[in-house]
Amino acid sequence: MERRKECSQTLASSTWQASNVRLVADRRRDAGRVEPDDAGDTLPVTGRHAVLLFMKSFTWASPTFGGGFQASASATIPIASNNLSTEVMGNVSGGTGLGDSYFIRFSSGASDNVRSGYWTHALSSGQTFYPMKSRRLILSAFEMYESHTAQAGTDIHPGQTLDLDYSIMGVPVDVEKARWQLGIAGYEQWQTTGTFGPAVSSDAFATRYRVNAIGAATSLTLPKQSVTLGFRYFDEFANRSTFEGYSLQIAASVSF
């Protein structure tokens, strides 16, 4: 879910970025849905899911060519810590380890990590627009379509998803020593196909989750030091068939 930054560069560069992301989901949407316990009785689904990510990324971009095009490559290695608890069962699961690694938006699992047990192939696109000649207003969007393989051990095939991330940023300070951006950012996620497999009911197959979030974003760039610091906060609302919570992101990057 960390797909939120400007999508263009103008010069050849290599960038190292460190991000800390905290995701907390503790409000269940579609609260009327219930699930059976071991005895076959139904119980309300309530709980809390917290994920803390420490992500290290390295990005390379080529010089511009063909009237403004660039080639780029990126690798992300995350360390993840997650905890899932419910009011009924208490602490259900948790762990810390190497998360799934991403190479040019391609997910690769490790043999001993906190992965979900299936491969994800993603097609992504990003755009950045400057409506004003002064470039004091920045409109950015990032889209990604995720296709999942069957989960190892269960043969359950998760539904495909469409993600949209966007931001509207103003630049109140743009001087030689610093560039400060401040604005609104948000994200949307839609499940586009049903989850299916041997143990998936027809009701579960027909379910499609949706996530909506909006929040604030700010960043400070120090050109002489080639350093950028960023902070973003998102609050989810009107989600469907999933938990609802908030996301807090802190990032720092250095270009060389």
pLDDT tens column, 154-191: 888 889 999 999 999 999 999 989 999 999 999 999 99
Query: Six-digit token pair at 73?
Result: 């490559």
Of 211, 179, 174, give the one whose Cα is nearest residue 192.
211
- Do 211 and 234 contact (CB within 8 A), yes or no? no
Longest dimension (CA), the chain: 68
Alpha-carbon gap, residue 192 to 162, rounded angstroms: 7
Domain boundaries, the chain: 13-255
- Do 124 and 102 contact (CB within 8 A), yes or no? no
Question: Per residue in 186-235, pLDDT tens?
Answer: 999 999 999 999 888 888 889 999 999 999 999 999 999 989 999 999 99
Between residues 131 and 14, which one has the greater pLDDT?
Answer: 131
State the sign of the Cα–Cα–Cα–Cα dihedral 150, 156, 160, 164: negative
Question: Per residue in 137-154, pLDDT tens?
Answer: 999 999 999 998 888 888
Q: Report pLDDT for 26.
A: 66
Question: Per residue in 58-112, pLDDT tens?
Answer: 888 888 888 777 777 778 777 777 666 655 455 555 566 665 555 543 333 443 4
Q: Report pLDDT for 90.
A: 56
- Do 122 and 106 contact (CB within 8 A), yes or no? yes
- Do 223 and 248 contact (CB within 8 A), yes or no? no
Residue 36 has pLDDT above 70, yes or no: no
Alpha-carbon gap, residue 87 to 74, rounded angstroms: 40
> How distant, in Å, are the alpha carbons of 65, 73, 75, 164, 215 from that of 70?
6, 10, 17, 22, 30
Question: Per residue in 231-248, pLDDT tens?
Answer: 999 999 988 888 788 888
Query: Six-digit token pair at 226?
Result: 């080639």
Q: Report pLDDT for 218.
A: 97
The predicted model gives 112-133 an average pLDDT of: 79
Residue 117 has pLDDT above 80, yes or no: no
Alpha-carbon gap, residue 179 to 181, rounded angstroms: 7
pTM attached to this predicted model: 0.70
Residue 33 has pLDDT above 50, yes or no: no
Between residues 129 and 6, which one has the greater pLDDT?
Answer: 129
Maximum average pLDDT range among 3-7, 14-18, 97-101, 243-247: 243-247
Q: Report pLDDT for 128.
A: 94
Q: Which CATH superfamily, name and number, covers 13-255?
A: Autotransporter beta-domain (2.40.128.130)
